Amino acid sequence: MRFRNLIVPPLVCACAQLPAGDLAAPTLAKFLRVLLQATALKGVACPDKELAGELTNLGVALDPDAKMVWADSPADVARLAKQGRLVVCGTRGLLASGASLAVVAEGGRPAIYANPKAITATGLALPDSIMKIVKVAP
Amino acid sequence: MNVLRSSRTTLLLLAALAARNAAAQGAPAPQAPPAVDINAELDEFISTDQIQAASKRVQDVASAPADVVVLRGSDLKAQGYRTLGDALGGVLGFISNADHAYQGMGMAGVYTLGDQNTRMLILLDGHALNSPAEVGSSKLGEDFGIPLELVDHIEVVRGPASSLYGNNAFQGLVNVSTLFAAGDSQPGFLGAATAGSGGLGELWAAGSVPIHGAMASLVVSGFRRTGTAQDLPELQDAPLPANADAESRQSAYLYVKGSDWSFAGSFLSRLQRLASGPYGSIAGDTGNFYENRRLSAEFKWEPRTDSVRWMFRFFGDRNTFSDQFRVAPLETFAPAQPDQQTDVDPDRSLGLEAQGRANLNGHLSLTFGTELQYHRYFGAYLDAQGAPSVDTEVSYGIGNTYLEANWAPTAAWNLVGGLQRADWIPGRVASTIGGVEQDAPKESISRLTPRLSVIWKPAAGEVVKAVFGQGFRFPTIFERYYTDEATQAANPAIKPEVLTSSQVSWSRTWTSRLTTHVAATLFSWQDAIIPGSSGDQEQYQNAPDAKKGRALEAEAAWRHQGLELSGGVGWYDWTYQGAPLENSSRWNGVLKAVQRLGAWSLAGDARYVDGRQSAGTGSAVPANWTLRASLRWDTARCWAQASVEDLTNSRRRDLVAPEYSPVTWMAADGRALRVVLGVRL
């Protein structure tokens, strides 16, 4: 039967299990650039290649040791938060692991959730312009 | 074989990209980020609509190679829309059509009478609800099954989108994202009870619980409506009994979301009685009904390598349509013992989709994939004695292989090109009429569908798009293979219909409060599938000439503190063989308002649809307004809402398909009041 010829099983690939973010990478990159500006930090650590590419396009410096870091797994978030770094993630559930900010999509638009305890632990104070648009995670 | 060759090309592309992952590791030179206006950037950030429907990947709406409207969940709640069709009816250019069996929807000012939305692809959390067999469901009325309270947002692609989605993405695409899939579901429970005019009642409940790192959510819902009295002066002077219009529905939806996988399963059963007496049945007889049952399951896995996001989707569907008509062979009304006719049409399918999305160097991204479906349809028509007099069996495969490239050489420019190959391959095709099996010709259908867009962002908040796209729709099983030998003939040679759209649009954000959008579009609708005749039998055929359309649309949205106003005006001009196209509306307007004040919101919308006429019967319906208003009180633990609708202003009517003959139009339900009480735990 000819239909069998359609069966193309490109199912075998070695994949690292990293959850995808809810927002487009260019949108996330713009927010991280604003966050850098607002906190007067100099760079961001970003292991996500696509997001790192967008940050580079915006002229943001990538620095693996930067105070601000993008993370998207519970283990990375917990480890980086213990180092006193400002951890930004794309999943609200990671706030419980110690992330400071979660940038997610709600109703088709970006929304920011904050973990005040984690932010305080970083020793940074986020400006009012940021705080007035964030929602505090329960 | 071409299909195999295109699939091999996809595989080679996958392999090349996987090999490329290892090489793409370059450390950029550190530099200070350029200074930005923080408040302006944040305002733009939180106002940026995020969509997936246009290119099968998350992107901001300004970068999408299509005209996309996003309906946000907060607005859907404030407006108190009950059905998906209600919500879409407020999108400029959409016109709804009610025949008291299914809620139909047309776009760009035109609706094809009798179409059960086969020309609009409707997705629920990315899963297509349309069946290529089209076994009777509109997906937009009560047969959608998900309370809009649980919808995060709806993405509406106004225009064809077959270059990625294939069949049915003809006039447009609607992707409904539930809170469970789009949002970050939290454990909890919510439920609501609704009561309203026409004997409307609904109860639904939803809950989310964490299970081994995943979040499992379940919605169950039950609905009933005792009906409204139908006034059909072509049949009789007195209104038909209300209970002959009764409707009921039961549905459930399960969604389990893991870190990089999800499972969705749904069940829906709907029964709609048919007061109007279609197909010559007895008007007002409660024994006439349509019944739909839909069952679906989908497992999706979205792993990632360093620079490629993968998506593998496995799915199965069972769509069953059945009807029953009470027929009086010699009399029009209420014979002593009416005959009963029954039709049963199930379509079962299994499918898979493999997709990759790669960002090659920050400027070029690719989306590529292949989707395969296997279907088996078996429909039977039972005569007055309950014996199968005609049955039709068709097994068929559908292939959809696509590639889309997005090149952004600078921040101001995006060039998007795409190409899709679609195949419709029949396996077994046989009809049994009067106990004699008849094989039908088995011709495959293949076609290529392109997409091309140029997107220019000359300044912050300003976007100019030139978008060329095509949509196609394979003939349904009914249109291609259905025959009852006596009155209806099959047409295995019928071709898919194709809609070509060329659009230029300009969007601008003037201030953080005011945005505008204008668009000009040309349409060419070729090989439209229309009812015709073959000898003394009816037969679906391709229209000999193209339908031509032009559209001009202007929209604006303004917000200040808690008040949001939005609206637009559209002008549409559709012609066929030099005459106005049937059921096309020249002017369309919509105005929406939402005022929020603490826990309270007051919202309303007004819609205007110009008059339309039927080419076949000469019947016409006048221009009409639809008005709605809704008051909502919403707290963390509960909400209450009252909504009123006035569909009778200017005697709103809708034209209906020839099967309702001698009825040519039907009135809307009239004034309605609904009250909702909900609780969250």
Q: Is there a domain that residue A2 lies in?
A: no
Q: How far is CA B354 from CA A113, B175, B300, B395, in A?
A: 33, 19, 10, 23
Q: Which residues contact B368 (CB under 8 A, 6 or more apart)?
A: B10, B13, B14, B355, B356, B402, B403, B404
B33: nearest CB among A6, A58, A107? A58
Q: How many domains does chain B have?
A: 1
Q: Which residues of chain A have pLDDT under 50?
A: 1-20
Query: B509-537: per-residue pLDDT in tens?
Result: 998 789 999 999 999 999 999 988 888 88
**Contact in structure between B462 and B503 (CB atoms under 8 Å):** no
DSSP for residue B140: S
Q: Which domain holds residue B359?
A: 2-21+38-680
Q: Is the pLDDT of residue B41 over 80?
A: yes
Query: B138-185: per-residue pLDDT in tens?
Result: 889 999 999 999 999 999 999 999 999 999 999 999 999 999 998 667
pLDDT band with cut points at 50, 70 and 90 for residue B29: very low
What does the pLDDT read at residue B302?
Answer: 92
| CATH at residue B520 | 2.40.170.20
Best CA proximity match to B370, nearest among B356, B380, B359: B356
Subunit contact A33:B24, Cβ cutoff 8 A: no
**Contact in structure between B124 and B273 (CB atoms under 8 Å):** no
What is the interface pTM, i.e. ipTM, of the complex?
0.83
Q: What DSSP letter does each residue of B62-98 carry, written as one string?
A: GG-SS-EEEEEHHHHHHHT--SHHHHHTTSTT-EEEE
Subunit contact A5:B1, Cβ cutoff 8 A: yes
Q: Is there a domain that residue B266 lies in?
A: yes
Q: Which residues of B touch A93 (CB under 8 A)?
A: 184
Q: Is there a domain that residue A9 lies in?
A: no
What is the rounded average pLDDT of the residues B457-466? 94
Q: Which residues contact B628 (CB under 8 A, 6 or more apart)?
A: B79, B80, B604, B605, B606, B643, B644, B645, B646
Q: Is the pLDDT of residue B249 over 70?
A: yes
SS3 A65: coil
Q: Is there a domain that residue B279 lies in?
A: yes
Alpha-carbon gap: A31 to the closest alpha carbon of chain B (Å):
7
pLDDT band with cut points at 50, 70 and 90 for residue B125: very high
Q: Round the average pLDDT of chain B to a whole number and report it.
A: 87
Q: At B391, list the tokens.
A: 């049955």
Q: Which residues of B touch A56 (CB under 8 A)?
A: 28, 362
Q: Which domain holds residue A85?
A: 20-136
β-pairing verdict for B120-124 and B653-655: unpaired
Interface test with chain B among A12, A33, A109, A135, by most B beta carbons within 10 Å: A109
A85 touches chain B (CB under 8 A): no
Q: How many helices (H) and strands (E) does chain A have?
A: 5, 6
Which A residues 86-125 touch B at CB under 8 Å?
Answer: 91-93, 102, 104-112
DSSP for residue B45: H
Q: Is there a domain that residue A15 lies in?
A: no
What does the pLDDT read at residue B22?
Answer: 37
Q: Rounded to an integer, what distance in angstroms lies between the CA atom of residue B343 and that of residue B659?
A: 15
Q: At B348, list the tokens.
A: 């079962």
Q: Rounded to an integer, what distance in angstroms lies between the CA atom of residue B424 and that of residue B445?
A: 5
Q: Is the pLDDT of residue B479 over 70?
A: yes
Q: Rounded to an integer, what distance in angstroms lies between the CA atom of residue B406 and that of residue B419?
A: 12
Interface test with chain A among B3, B21, B58, B79, by most A beta carbons within 10 Å: B58
> By mean pLDDT, which of B68-77, B396-405, B453-462, B650-659 is the weakest?
B650-659
What does the pLDDT read at residue A15?
Answer: 34
Best CA proximity match to B623, nearest among B95, B89, B98, B115: B95
Q: Is there a domain that residue B31 lies in?
A: no
Residue B96 buriedness (CB in 10 A; 0-12 / 13-18 / 19+): buried
Q: Which residue of A has its CA nearest to B21?
A: A49
C-alpha B406: how far from its chain's center?
Answer: 26
Q: Is there a domain that residue B454 lies in?
A: yes
Q: Is there a domain that residue A92 lies in?
A: yes
B18: nearest CB among A13, A26, A37? A13
What does the pLDDT read at residue B424?
Answer: 94
Alpha-carbon gap: A78 to the closest alpha carbon of chain B (Å):
16
Q: How many helices (H) and strands (E) does chain B have?
A: 7, 39
β-pairing verdict for B600-609 and B308-327: unpaired
What does the pLDDT read at residue B652?
Answer: 67
Helix axes A25-39, A49-57, angle to 10 degrees: 60
Helix axes A25-39, B38-46, angle to 10 degrees: 150
CB atoms inside a 10 Å sphere around CB B445: 18
Subunit contact B1:A42, Cβ cutoff 8 A: no
What does the pLDDT read at residue B647?
Answer: 67
A74 touches chain B (CB under 8 A): no
What does the pLDDT read at residue B183?
Answer: 66
**Contact in structure between A71 and A87 (CB atoms under 8 Å):** yes
Q: Is there a domain that residue B354 lies in?
A: yes
Subunit contact B359:A49, Cβ cutoff 8 A: yes
What does the pLDDT read at residue A88?
Answer: 96
| CATH at residue A92 | 3.40.50.2300
Q: What DSSP letter does each residue of B147-181 carry, written as one string?
A: -GGGEEEEEEEES--HHHH-TT-SSEEEEEEEHHH
Euclidean distance between the first and the last CA atom of chain B, given in angstroms as a whole number: 57
Q: Which residues contact B482 (CB under 8 A, 6 or more apart)?
A: B379, B392, B488, B490
DSSP for residue B460: T
Dihedral pair phi/psi, residue B669, rounded to 5°:
-65, -25
What does the pLDDT read at residue B618?
Answer: 77
Q: Rounded to an integer, what distance in angstroms lies between the CA atom of residue B95 and that of residue B111?
A: 7
Q: Is there a domain that residue B26 lies in?
A: no
Subunit contact B183:A106, Cβ cutoff 8 A: yes
pLDDT band with cut points at 50, 70 and 90 for residue B421: very high
B354: nearest CB among A10, A19, A30? A10
Q: How many domains does chain A have?
A: 1
Subunit contact A24:B72, Cβ cutoff 8 A: no
A56 touches chain B (CB under 8 A): yes
Q: Is the pLDDT of residue B562 over 50?
A: yes
